[in-house]
Amino acid sequence: MRKLAVFGEVLSIKLLWLPLIFALPIASLCPSNGKSFLLFGAGIPISIALHEFLHVLLLPSGSFSLRKGAFIAVEITGNVPAFPLFVSALLPGLVLGSVGVLLLPHDALVAFPFVMHLLSVPLDIAGIGGIRLG
């Protein structure tokens, strides 16, 4: 599987777009906060797709596959050294969490989809949910 294909595969999951569908009527009812609601709804699927893409960014091209189930999991199918595997587990949570922390003073609703990735750091390192060793 190619690295950029992970981004499209994750965005093709229809369930991830539900927050945006629910944000549309709320945005029309509250025009003052409408843009924040729309960015929040779109931020969830986009941040999850970026999260999985950042997992595979440092991995060799043929060494992983994407598994959809209760979690979207990147399974390691090839031989990957320990350090790139550890960094690929850390990278998404730290990068997206940092983006969320930077957005927090401006708009907490827009920052939430990114800040929630800080919670994934221990789960990704333990191999629960995100990267799963095959």
Q: Report the C-alpha gap between 108 and 110 in whole angstroms.
A: 5
Split at pLDDT 50, 70, 90, the class of 10 is confident
* pLDDT band with cut points at 50, 70 and 90 for residue 128: low
Q: Give me 123's structure tokens.
A: 């789960």
| Residue 13 near residue 72, CB atoms below 8 Å | yes
pLDDT at residue 130 in the model: 52
Residue 102 CB coordination number (10 Å): 12
Average pLDDT, the chain: 86
| CB crowding 46-58: b at 16 or more within 10 Å, else e | bbbbbbbbbbbeb
Residue of 133 and 12 predicted with greater confidence: 12
Residue 73: phi and psi, rounded to 5, are -120, 135
Per-residue model confidence as pLDDT tens digits over 43-92: 999 999 999 899 888 888 888 888 877 667 788 888 888 888 888 889 99
Residue 74 has what pLDDT?
82
The one-letter amino acid at 31? P
Phi, psi of 47 (to 5 degrees): -70, -35
- Residue 129 pLDDT level (bands cut at 50, 70, 90): low
**E-assigned strand segments in the chain:** 64-68, 72-76, 131-133
